[in-house]
Amino acid sequence: MNTPEPRELRWQVNGLRLAGLAWGDPAARPLLALHGWLDNAASFSMLAPLLVQHQVVALDLTGHGRSDPRSTDAGYQIWEDLPELLGVLDALGWQHFDLLGHSRGAAIASIMAAAFPERIRSLVLLDGLAPEPVAEALFPGQLRKYVDDKRRWLACHNRVYASVDDAIASRAGDKLPPAAARLLVERNLRPCDGGYTWSTDLRLRGASAVKLTGGQIAAVLQGLSMPTLLLVAEQGLGGRPEMAALARRYIGGLQLESVAGGHHCHMESSVEDVAARINRFLLSTNRGGTR
């Protein structure tokens, strides 16, 4: 499908250069979009133009796409993105906004919405909800794995590809159509000696230092006081009924729907259906006016 060219955006927040893309009328209702693990802002290139009532701004989260990686002494816990996200929102002048997240971005969006519910009008979660809980007793082993992984990945280098097409071929497959793979890969690459390599920070592949417990995740989900739409993909995480059960148990204003497609349903042939469901939800929740 042909999609409008987005506008490139840049910010400087907490010493980090952050990048993003924007679609739609800058005067329209604002929506912040957060991509999934190892993706980037181009993840929303097919969906954002279909959200016609909104200006959509999608970030390259730190360590992804054209945004800076974190310093070698820092990490990539999902809550560590919040200070930079708030800095971007301040730069945009968005006091209140709708929030959308996919996969890892959905987990970040849930945590952000629970911590700052007064700023978020409505929440849309695409095939993601929260990280899997880890029992408190497993904390020492989790911490050790984080330290071991960090040392290992800091000593590694990203793979080099002779051409952009070679890199795209490595990402495309049954779970990600070629057109979607091209959008993501081209924004996650940089030229180097010998061809092209990923700009993605390898440390994102390592273990987290701390995993949330079941009680902490319940507290996050119970803190989602805004209208919340969870779209589960039939060939994605929708195959894990525990995610839907967790959402139903703890989220008060939940609307839960199933959509065709895989984990990247918003980048597949089902994108128009995904957009229609999101548009209906946002229209119904926005009728109350602007906060």
For the chain, which domains are there? 7-133+213-286 (3.40.50.1820)
For 148-168, what is each residue's pLDDT tens digit? 999 999 999 999 999 999 999
Residue 188 has pLDDT above 60, yes or no: yes
- List the one residue out of 263, 272, 229 whose CA is nearest residue 46: 272
CB atoms within 10 A of CB 168: 20
For 189-241, what is each residue's pLDDT tens digit? 999 999 999 999 999 999 999 999 999 999 999 999 999 999 999 999 866 78
For 74-120, what is each residue's pLDDT tens digit? 999 999 999 999 999 999 999 999 999 999 999 999 999 999 999 99
Q: What is the pLDDT of residue 234?
A: 92
Q: What is the pLDDT of residue 174?
A: 64
Q: What is the pLDDT of residue 172?
A: 83
On average, the pLDDT of the chain sits at 94
Q: Which of helix, strand or coil describes residue 79?
A: helix
Query: In the structure, how many helices (H) and strands (E) does the chain have?
Result: 8, 11
Rounded Cα distance between 104 and 106, Å, is 5
Cα atoms in the 13 Å half-sphere on the side-chain side of 272:
4
Q: Which of helix, strand or coil describes residue 255?
A: strand
What are the residue numbers of the active site? 103
Q: What percentage of the chain carries pLDDT values higher than 70?
A: 96
